[in-house]
Amino acid sequence: MRAARLIRMVLLLQSRPSMTGAELAGELEVSERTVTRDAQALSEAGVPVYADRGRAGGYRLVGGYRTGLTGLARDEAEALFLSGLPSALREMGLDDAASAARLKVSAALIPSLRDASHSAARRFHLDAPGWYHDPAVPELLPAVAEAVWDDRLVRARYRRRHSDEVERELAPYGLVLKAGVWYLCAWAGDDVRVYRIDRFTAVTVSPTRFVRDEDFDLPRFWAERAAQFARSLLRTEVTVRLSEKGVRRLPHVVDRPAADDALAGAAEPDADGLRTVVLPVESEEVAYGQLLSLGPEVEVLAPAALRERFADTAERLRDLYR
């Protein structure tokens, strides 16, 4: 944490003529005493931090000092911001650029901070794919990633669910890695659509660049589209009666937003402490598998066919464990 704070302090002083101890303490979220110690540590490490005393005093860098974070190529700088995602960089073909960027940054840091990248890597790691799945790297991902970085149009053939293929000219706006699956968000015609990278059968990167809409926000778009997709799957409803324990566990076994909304709109518990909830679900089959994990903490009231299936399962379990 201190290494990152020292770097930030240098960058703050580099961007302004001077800053008071109180201003630095506020920006760095530390005490003024810590600012004094950090300034001394930087000075001892060769960074020319000077403290002016008095009411108008403050901290500044002497002689137009600038950090040595220079010489990064564009792809190296972009890759640096993804350096916490080593598997993603490797799959997009950017691991060499990221490695070069890390070496240049390390060489520019003061000696006491040069092990910061190793220190962070020993403590934090993101493993994006879900459990029980062997992640498959789409063969065409590097080509798509190249087009995304360079804002180049692509001509792509895409295999849809029913095995037929379509050809599209796309303006690739962004890549998303969700639970080990890569998706492309791209303008196609007059709308932004989402494509699974592993369903592309051919991709040709055009030399023609497109003009990116600067108002497009990839995280916000993905969050909204993911929420729409989740809601679109919930095509039917089941009515259940839940115990107090069942109420607590329900959001962990079904779609959480759907469970939260259903519980928020449910009536108060009855005299036995049970709550009746109308729950949106993907299908009766999916609901059966999800709600079965709640065991005796849930009673299915409707639809009748699902209730009968639970009753039959309960009979079989009773016979099995009698």
Half-sphere exposure of 17 (CA within 13 A, CB side): 2
Q: What DSSP element (H or E) covers 142?
A: helix 141-150
Q: What is the pTM of this model?
A: 0.57
Among 53-57, 229-233, 253-257, 316-320, the range scoring the smallest mean pLDDT is: 53-57
The confidence score (pLDDT) of residue 44 equals 82
Interaxial angle between packed helices 2-15 and 32-44, expressed in degrees from 0 to 180 and rounded to the nearest 10 = 90
The confidence score (pLDDT) of residue 153 equals 96
In order, the DSSP letters of 158-204 are: EE-TTS-EEEEEEEEEEEEEETTEEEEEEEETTEEEEEEGGGEEEEE
Would you call 262 helix, strand, or coil by DSSP?
Answer: helix
The confidence score (pLDDT) of residue 200 equals 93
Instruction: Assess contact for 94 and 79: CB atoms under 8 A.
Output: yes
Question: To the nearest whole percent, how much of the chain has pLDDT over 70?
Answer: 77
The answer, yes or no, to whether residue 80 has pLDDT greater than 70, is no
pLDDT single digits (tens) 98-157: 666 665 665 555 555 555 555 555 656 666 666 766 667 788 988 998 899 899 999 999
SS3 track for 45-105:
CCCCEEEECCCCCEEEEHHHCCCCCCCCCHHHHHHHCCCCCHHHHHHHCCHHHHHHHHHHH
Give every strand in the sheet of 191-196, ordered side by side: 191-196, 181-188, 165-178, 152-159, 200-209
Peptide bond connecting 251 to the previous residue in cis, omega within 30 degrees of 0: no
